[in-house]
Amino acid sequence: MGFLSPGSTSSITNGIDRQAARRRMRVRLLLYVLVPVLAIAAVGCVIRQPVLRGAERSAAHADPLALAAHVKTLSVDFAPRSCLDTTNLAACADYIAGKLTAYGARVTRQPYSAMRRNYQNITGSFGPETGPRLIVGAHYDSCDDTPGADDNASGVAGLLELARLLDKTPLRLTVELVAFSTEEPPFFASPSMGSYQHAASLKQAGVEVAGMICLEMIGYFDDKPWSQQYPFGLFHLLFPSRGDFIAVIGSNQQRPFLKRVKRAMLGTVPLDVVSAAVPSFVRGVDFSDHRNYWLHGYNAVMITDTAFLRNTAYHTPQDTWDRLDYDRMAQVVVAVFEAVREQAGTNIQHDTDK
């Protein structure tokens, strides 16, 4: 039988202590790495609103040539379209009303005044004449004397092509396509916005609104690496670096509605659909007409190419009709059409992915 000297016992004990210390250090290092990764993943799930499944590929077809023609008419023939150019805005309103009528919509006008000038919203309705409504809207005015092709002739063109697709589509809810005036400064974020006037009129009349989808700049795409910018550095870890997707944007309070819209769009076209539900203080999340439906207690999201975070011609004379991608814009319209059909059509798929 052998024995261990006191020195040998001390050496073994020290060795065990060192091994335990190394294990504790490895655990700490793992936690230092794992905790931030898990935190980012959790935040990413909250913000990105991932869905387990999308919809089937759509059989609908939006016409890129028609979209280009609408954008060119609005941004060239009726330019400029600022709040000061009321003659051009009136011509835009007549053009939009005429196209909506030709596509089978029931057309109404909502006149209002701001700063002693007269403006109007144009609405084209499809489906039942009474009951809950789903709103899809886009503003037709532009900033100052800019052509406003992407901002926001693209959204109005999408609205008009959506009207063509909705004609003869069976609907269980009323779908209102609304073209707003006075979205741009100096009226932005004031009750003089056309969308504020529209949302307020719905609230005053006690209309039930299933939701609102805002089309705000849907025509500019950029496949170059790092062409897409974000308001926070963290977003670069969560979202694509190329500006080759369409985004569905909402506030934290809009998560359920946002997720339904995203799921209905995702997979219907080859274009990637990305979503973000973020706090309302994040720059850009409320930079369009959907903000006014939030103010009146309605669900609303924005469909956008992310505006100034991608398109460097935002609010400049370079925002011209020839810079837009009408093939991918047509995909956006089809995806929005499927979202509208899922929300308001007669063949409703129940939401199982909460």
Average pLDDT over residues 235-258: 94
The answer to whether residue 8 scores a pLDDT higher than 80 is: no
Distant-in-sequence, close-in-space partners of 251: CB < 8 Å, separation ≥ 6: 277, 278, 279, 280, 285, 286, 294
Q: Which residues contact 93 (CB under 8 A, 6 or more apart)?
A: 109, 120, 122, 140, 179, 181
* Least confident residue range of 80-94, 187-201, 340-354: 340-354
Give me the pLDDT at residue 280, please.
82
Higher pLDDT, 215 or 1: 215
Pick from 30-34, 126-130, 237-241, 346-350 the range whose average pLDDT is largest: 126-130
Does the pLDDT of residue 310 top 60, yes or no?
Answer: yes
How would residue 339 be classed by pLDDT, with cut points 50, 70 and 90?
Answer: very high
Instruction: Express as a percent the part of the chain with pLDDT over 70.
Output: 84
| Residues 162-167, mean pLDDT to the nearest whole number | 98
How many other CB atoms are there within 10 angstroms of residue 243's CB atom?
A: 20
Q: What is the mean pLDDT of residues 7-11?
A: 58
* pLDDT tier at 281, thresholds 50, 70, 90: confident
Categorize the per-residue pLDDT at 262 as very low, low, confident or very high, splitting at 50, 70 and 90.
very high
Q: How confident is the model at residue 34 (pLDDT cuts 50, 70, 90)?
A: very low
Q: What are the angstrom distances between the C-alpha of 272 and each of 167, 218, 242, 326, 335?
A: 26, 13, 11, 16, 10
From the CB of residue 23, how many other CB atoms can be counted at a distance below 10 Å?
10
- What is the band of 201 on the pLDDT scale with cuts at 50, 70, 90? very high
pLDDT band at 170 (very low <50, low <70, confident <90, very high): very high
Q: What is the pLDDT of residues 94-141, one digit of tens each?
A: 999 999 999 999 999 999 999 999 999 999 999 999 999 999 999 999
CB contact at 8 A, 336 and 265: yes
Mean pLDDT of 29-38: 49
Query: To the nearest whole number, what is the mean pLDDT of the chain?
Result: 90
Quickly state the pLDDT bin for 45 (edges 50, 70, 90).
low
Output the CA–CA distances (angstroms, integers) from residue 351 to 54, 79, 252, in the order listed: 11, 43, 19
143 vs 37: which has the higher pLDDT? 143
Task: Kindly tell me if the per-residue pLDDT of 350 is higher than 70.
Answer: no
- Residue type for 293, please? Y
> How many Å apart are CA 193 and CA 75, to the nearest integer?
20
In this prediction, residue 4 has a pLDDT band, given cuts at 50, 70 and 90, of: very low
- The yes-or-no verdict on residue 158 having pLDDT over 80 is yes
- pLDDT value at 32 more than 60: no
pTM of this structure:
0.86
Q: What is the pLDDT of residues 73-102, one digit of tens each?
A: 999 999 999 999 999 999 999 999 999 999
Using the predicted structure, report yes or no on whether residue 306 has a pLDDT greater than 90.
yes
